[in-house]
Amino acid sequence: MTASNANPFDRKIVTNSAFSRFGLVIASLLLLGQIVYFEGMPISRNPVFRASLEKLCGQLNCQLPAYKNPAEFAVLQGVLSALPDRSQQFRAVFRNRAAFAQPYPNLELTLLDYAENPFARRIFRPQDYLINAQAATSAMRPDATAAISLNIAAPKTKVGGYTFKLIY
């Protein structure tokens, strides 16, 4: 075969393996960075990965965001009762069923009339319902139980029911 008959597309592609490996490492680090940036919070909330991430952060001297999953709180009791002065008292007991400590949740209490229409709603923060101010800034340990009692001023509308949710 002569040089004039050579096909220009039949060139040998020479790759430098050091450059290829360096590019692969950079691409892998970029992919890992994107996963952490876009999916880091949901991954840190996943109980399967949380324990391993806590160990890794302990070695790297970093801190994971607080574990927050209101679905892992169980409401054991909730009672709204009228007091003699027409005010209301709401009492509840809830438990942290998560395997990890969680910040105390906010409590959303909605009062309903007899037609089940909401007429009053309030969100109580931990410092509103916990007696000890220090407890309000701390986390609720796994399997810990909290009992709360809230006094509510006498509403103008007669209370026919309520809804109660733990939220963040």
- Give yes or no for a contact between 148 and 130, defined as CB atoms under 8 angstroms apart: yes
For residue 136, what pLDDT band results from cuts at 50, 70 and 90?
Answer: low
Q: From its phi and psi, is residue 132 left (phi > 0), alpha (psi between -120 and 50) or beta? A: beta
- Tens-digit pLDDT profile for residues 73-106: 999 999 999 999 989 999 999 999 998 899 999 9
Q: What is the pLDDT of residue 127?
A: 87
Q: What is the pLDDT of residue 15?
A: 59
Q: What is the pLDDT of residue 12?
A: 59
6: amino acid identity, one letter: A
Q: Per-residue pLDDT for 138 more than 90? A: no
Residue recorded with tokens 């438990």: 95
Task: Look at 25 and 2; give whichever has higher pLDDT.
Answer: 25
Q: What is the pLDDT of residue 64?
A: 82
- Tens-digit pLDDT profile for residues 43-71: 887 778 888 888 888 888 888 888 888 89
Average pLDDT rounded to a whole number, residues 10-19? 67
Q: How far apart are CA 120 and CA 155, in angstroms?
A: 9
Strand order through the sheet with 73-82: 73-82, 88-96, 145-152
Which CATH superfamily, name and number, covers 70-167?
Answer: abc- transporter (atp binding component) like domain (2.70.50.60)
Q: What is the pLDDT of residue 13?
A: 60
Q: Which residues contact 113 (CB under 8 A, 6 or more apart)?
A: 119, 157, 158, 159, 160
Average pLDDT rounded to a whole number, residues 28-48? 83
Q: What is the pLDDT of residue 3?
A: 54
- Give yes or no for a contact between 160 and 114, defined as CB atoms under 8 angstroms apart: yes
Q: What is the pLDDT of residue 72?
A: 92
What 3-state class would DSSP assign to 53? helix
Q: Per-residue pLDDT for 129 more than 60? A: yes
What is the average pLDDT value for the chain, to the nearest integer? 86
